[in-house]
Amino acid sequence: MLYYSGVTQRVGDVDSGNTVTDFLELERERGITIQSAAITFHWPLQQDCPPGTSPKTINLIDTPGHQDFRFEVDRCLPILDGAVCIIDSVKGVEAHTERVWASAQEFKIPRIVYCNKLDREGASFRKSVLEIGSRLKGWPLVCQIPWWEKEDFVGVIDVIDGVGYRWKSERQKARYEPAELKELLSTSNQSLLTEMQVARQRLVEGLADFDEAVMDEFLAENENIPAPLLKQAIRRSIQLGDGRVIPVFAGSSFRHIGVEPLMDAIADYLPNPAERPDVEVRIGSTKSELREALKGKGKKAVDPNVTSVASVFKVFDHPKEGVISFVRVYHGTLTRNAPSFNTHMLIQERPMGILQISASKTEDIQELSVGQIGALRGLKKARTGDTLITMASGKAVPEHLRHIQIRPPEIPPPVAFLQVDPYGNVAAQQLEAALESASREDPSLRWSRNPKTDQFTIQGMGKLHLDVSLYNMRQKHKIDAEFGPIEVDYKECVTAETSPQKAIFDRPVAGKSGKVTCTVTLRPIEEGEHDSLMETGLEKDGNIVQVDIPMHGEASAVLVDADEARQQLFNGAIAGLARGPRRASPIHGCHVHITLDTSRDALESPTGGHFSGAAKTAVQAALREAFDKSQIGVLEPIMLTHIVCPEAAAGTVQHDITAGAGGHVLEVNDRSAESASEELIDVSKIYAPPDPYDSITSLRGKKSTARMVEIIAKVPYKEMLNYDEHLRSKTAGRHSMTMSFDSFARVVGHREKDI
């Protein structure tokens, strides 16, 4: 896309590792996209625009396809106006595609599908289209059909305009107008000509179900419905982002077939920012539309002092520009040096300019208006997922907007970790700086430092996630440290309510004497009571802390700031839960009830450190008591795992999961397209053109018919850590496996002893 729109002078491809957006060394090595890069280009080219119109500005955000980087994809989804979902037409719709599709469905993003790799052996456009219907549960509208010459994929035919595109090389493509195309095919490829007519007829029939204008023409038996009418109908039918209709396009990016028509489709069908509904924001636990939130309570108009509201969807350490924060503007105009208030960190920062990025080139711009995407230079604290507000000169952010967040990220808990021992103090400081910057870029990467041993613990979403994060840190910073192996992130839990533990913290903190007394009770959070506990408590890392401060006459004199005391008691409790008594793993699923003793002698000139010290001491004492009574259990992450493998290996996999790993299989499905009959979509009615080798019983056709089976199971992550490699030897690499975090569960029986 960047090559055709003139942004770059050469074409890159992911597999040989020279794409523009994949500029991380590792992405090139592994041939995968890890970072989501935002690049701006214009299309169609000026010379191809009708007189009086100009090219559209398109912001391309390239996201990773690997499931360990699911967070990276989910962060970028909310800011999109439209999406292209790319399917490998050899593999069809993969489990991970379904998962990301479901996320796009949640954010109601209009999307189209591009079936790639049609030049590969075993590629089937027909199977891909049928699977789009059965797996993505929408009606596939075939807008292009592949142009085959015998068994070679040479181009695509646009069903709507009746135009054919045939490629000889990346620069040389021939465009055949409808009349020329008919003449050419009538002599050389009669069956393709017939297929074109069938395809258009079926496209009109399919569209008629979703669009009244097409329905009227269809009922009037109009043979030649004009192309512009059909294009507008497709645009309207995907506008809501409900995924009922899925326009499908064909191509092979590697051979440059079909990319330009796909770019035309993006400009023709995907909506511009003005056509999208207002974005949803959260203030505390209430959700509303941005426009409503900006009005404030009982006001008629939007607050005129709010000059812009923007969302940071990506923080990135750019090789030339340093750390930059990609933003999308949702309201007003963001100017280059306007002080921005960060509603997550509750701090004000002033950016040092705005950049527009096209490939490795960057260009300074003065401002960003609604719907535009750019990068702010010089923000020190902003993290991925933060919301920024700018106000008219010198005005303070109104109270009701100080905590507004545009679709804040839902970060799942980490499941894997490793420990790092830096060699000496300088190395520890370097490592801390590197982790600080890495976790700003990717909030799903977490870390902590043990002040006594100086050992660092780094937690992540899986093995590949940690591998890649560490690799990137080592590339950017030379870190002198010993990195331990990647291990499963176990947690500990209390299995019964503890008796109340009273702690008196009466010693100087930072040279100031003071005294705080509090009582703490711990108990496990039962299923289904999470929401009711949240009404009185605060949650962090899977634990809920409730702080009670009874107020007596004399207490209020000593206790200057109850909110500060509450926050410090909360911090102390969280610190106390960070290391459990059994194996020094964090405590999870625990409800902590802290009562501050505010009677006459229990509180004396306390500082923040005294409150947190008292809470931490009491929590640790309660945990020790529970441990002595054998009331501490071990929890492990359970993953929802999808494994697709040849039928021959399915028995082995099921046995491994149930007998060896202590997991359980939820369902086993046949993954061949014919079997997938969903009640939502009648697959037998979907139109998909035949593949060229349907009629030839060659080896090529036989090869792609080995039955694939999908096994869905819940399995302890420990057993799946290296399972992918183990499975590769069993299936000769013909399997795919995706995992996502499901829940934490008690480790019992012989596996508990092993731990």
DSSP per-residue string spanning 101-125: HHHHHHTT--EEEEEE-TTSTT--H
Of 111-120, 191-200, 404-413, 730-739, which range is least confident?
Answer: 730-739
**Both tokens assigned to 484:** 């331990």
Is the pLDDT reported for residue 683 higher than 50? yes
Distance, CA of 507 to CA of 519 (rounded, Å): 18
Question: How high is the pLDDT of residue 359?
Answer: 57
The pairing of strands 590-596 and 516-524 is: antiparallel
Report which listed range, 320-329, 472-481, 494-503, is most confident: 494-503
pLDDT in tens, 476-486: 888 889 999 99
Question: How high is the pLDDT of residue 78?
Answer: 86
Asked whether 546 and 619 are in contact (CB, 8 A), the reply is: no
Question: How high is the pLDDT of residue 245?
Answer: 96
pLDDT in tens, 111-133: 999 999 999 988 999 999 999 99
Question: How high is the pLDDT of residue 734?
Answer: 77
Distance, CA of 550 to CA of 572 (rounded, Å): 19
Is the pLDDT reported for residue 402 higher than 80? yes
Which of the four pLDDT bands, split at 50, 70 and 90, describes residue 501?
very high
Of 492, 452, 532, the closest CA to residue 622 belongs to: 492
User: Can you list the alpha helix ranges (DSSP code H) found in 535-607?
Assistant: 553-558, 562-577
Asked whether 161 and 128 are in contact (CB, 8 A), the reply is: no
pLDDT in tens, 212-265: 999 999 999 988 899 999 999 999 999 999 999 999 999 999 888 999 999 999
Distance, CA of 747 to CA of 751 (rounded, Å): 7
Is the pLDDT reported for residue 35 higher than 80? no
Distance, CA of 307 to CA of 311 (rounded, Å): 14
Is the pLDDT reported for residue 698 higher than 80? no
Is the pLDDT reported for residue 688 higher than 70? yes
| Positive/negative CA dihedral, 400, 405, 407, 408 | negative
Q: Hey, is 140 helix, strand or coil?
A: strand
331 or 698: which leads in pLDDT: 331
Is the pLDDT reported for residue 697 higher than 50? no
Q: Hey, is 671 helix, strand or coil?
A: coil
Distance, CA of 280 to CA of 328 (rounded, Å): 14
DSSP 8-state assignment for residue 375: E
Question: How high is the pLDDT of residue 557?
Answer: 62
DSSP 8-state assignment for residue 55: P
Question: How high is the pLDDT of residue 32?
Answer: 42
Asked whether 409 and 443 are in contact (CB, 8 A), the reply is: yes
Which of the four pLDDT bands, split at 50, 70 and 90, describes residue 750?
confident
Question: How high is the pLDDT of residue 15?
Answer: 53
Question: Would you give the distance in Å from CA 433 to the centre of its chain?
Answer: 25
Q: H-helix or E-strand containing 664?
A: strand 664-670
Distance, CA of 324 to CA of 36 (rounded, Å): 13
Question: How high is the pLDDT of residue 155?
Answer: 96
Question: Would you give the distance in Å from CA 61 to the centre of its chain?
Answer: 12
Is the pLDDT reported for residue 696 higher than 90? no
Distance, CA of 495 to CA of 162 (rounded, Å): 69
Mean pLDDT computed over 532-542: 87
Backbone angles phi, psi at 747, to 5 degrees: -90, 125
Question: How high is the pLDDT of residue 36?
Answer: 44
Of 475, 491, 471, 477, the closest CA to residue 416 belongs to: 491
Let me know the angle formed at the C-alpha of 289 by 531 and 104, rounded to the nearest 5 degrees. 75
Distance, CA of 441 to CA of 435 (rounded, Å): 10
pLDDT in tens, 184-206: 999 888 999 999 999 999 999 99
In this prediction the pTM is 0.78
Of 389-393, 564-568, 702-706, which range is least confident?
Answer: 702-706
* CA distances to 71, 578, 702 from 445, in Å: 10, 17, 45
Distance, CA of 672 to CA of 181 (rounded, Å): 35
Q: H-helix or E-strand containing 483?
A: strand 481-483
Distance, CA of 671 to CA of 351 (rounded, Å): 51
Mean pLDDT computed over 539-564: 80
| Domains along the chain with CATH numbers | 63-275 (3.40.50.300), 280-406 (2.40.30.10), 416-482 (3.30.70.870), 496-630 (3.30.230.10), 634-754 (3.30.70.240)
Asked whether 137 and 680 are in contact (CB, 8 A), the reply is: yes
Range 18-26 contact pairs with CB under 8 angstroms and sequence separation of 24 or more? 20/359, 20/360, 21/60, 21/62, 22/62, 23/319, 23/360, 24/472, 24/475, 25/471, 25/475, 26/468, 26/471, 26/472, 26/475
Backbone angles phi, psi at 7, to 5 degrees: -75, -40
Asked whether 286 and 401 are in contact (CB, 8 A), the reply is: no
Is the pLDDT reported for residue 674 higher than 60? no
**Both tokens assigned to 48:** 């191809």
**Both tokens assigned to 455:** 């050992």
Phi-psi region of 181 (alpha: psi -120 to 50; beta: other; left: phi over 0): alpha
Is the pLDDT reported for residue 33 higher than 60? no
Mean pLDDT computed over 603-617: 92
Which of the four pLDDT bands, split at 50, 70 and 90, describes residue 699?
very low
DSSP 8-state assignment for residue 568: H
In this structure, the number of other CB atoms found within 10 A of the CB of residue 136 comes to 23
The pairing of strands 538-540 and 516-524 is: unpaired
- The chain-wide mean pLDDT, for the chain, equals 87
Asked whether 672 and 704 are in contact (CB, 8 A), the reply is: no
Percent of the chain at pLDDT exceeding 70: 91
pLDDT in tens, 37-51: 678 889 999 998 989
